[in-house]
Each structure stands twice: as structure tokens, then as C-alpha cells.
Amino acid sequence: MPDNQIHDFNPGISPFPTGLFWTVPIPPGSVHIDLAGKTASLKLRSRKTDDYGNVVNALTTDEEIAEAMIDVDISWSGGTEVDFSSSTNNFSGHYVLGAATFTWSAKEPGFSFTTDPGSADFAEIGHERNGSFNI
């Protein structure tokens, strides 16, 4: 952990310490997927999260230093389509390989942060089935 880390925004572990790791439900309508159009997006506005100060504190104490609000924008766009299946693992999927762009910001009393726009050259969206749903 860097000595100068003073913020660590994440939704925590619930229930602490053995529950879901940094996973929370998102509001309906936050995700839009168009596999035929090879696009998808995730938009979150004013989503409550916690600031734990640093990742060690977040993972070991579950004591936040402040409540924060975050905004997230991710857009995927693709090109090449790939199908994969495994009868051994009872799994199948249809994916669109492409790229993504994103921005992220956080606000809490006395502090705010906004990323520069970012991009990823590898990103994929898709549909997969496994177990009893792999029909």
C-alpha cells in the first residue's frame, strides 16, 4: 500500500468479513446492452459508497472515514464476435470483443475527485449460460 494513500472508495464487504467483496446492487436502468449493435453502457449517478482511507483499512476493519457519492460512466463498443462452449464444464457464451471508455468521480465533505477520461483497448460484452441454464 502506498504511504500516501488517503482515499479508498468502495462499497465494503457485506456482511463483514466473509460476505460479498465490493459488490452492490445497482439501480434498474443503469445498464444498457445491445449485443446486435455491439454496444453497452453503465451509468451510475450519486451512488452512495464509503471512503475507507486505504485498502488495508477497508479489508481488515470495515471502518469508513467518510460517506461519499460516486458517478460512473463506462461505454463499450465492439467488433469481432466470438462463441465459446464447453460440454465438460457445461458452459456456453457469445461475446463481442472491443474497447471501452470510462470516467469516474467521487465527492465527500471537503474532497472531490474526477478521473481524466480513460480507455481500454480490450473489453468484451456478451451473453453466457452455465449449469442448468445452459440449454
Instruction: Give ∠ CA 15-61-6 in degrees, rounded to 5.
Output: 120
| Burial of 114 per CB tally in 10 Å (0-12, 13-18, 19+) | exposed
Mean pLDDT of 76-85: 95
Indicate whether 115 pLDDT > 90. yes
- Which pLDDT does position 93 carry in this prediction? 95
For the segment 119-131, the average pLDDT, to the nearest whole number, is 93
| Mean pLDDT (whole number) for 54-66 | 93
Higher local confidence (pLDDT), 3 or 56: 56
Residue 31: all three cell numbers together: 445498464
Helix (H, G, I), strand (E, B) or coil at 12: coil
- pLDDT for 133: 76
Report, as an integer, the average pLDDT of 78-85.
Answer: 94
Residue 134 has pLDDT above 80, yes or no: no
CB proximity list for 38: less than 8 A, separation 6 or greater: 77, 78, 79, 81, 96, 98, 125
- 133: Cβ contacts below 8 Å, ≥ 6 apart: none
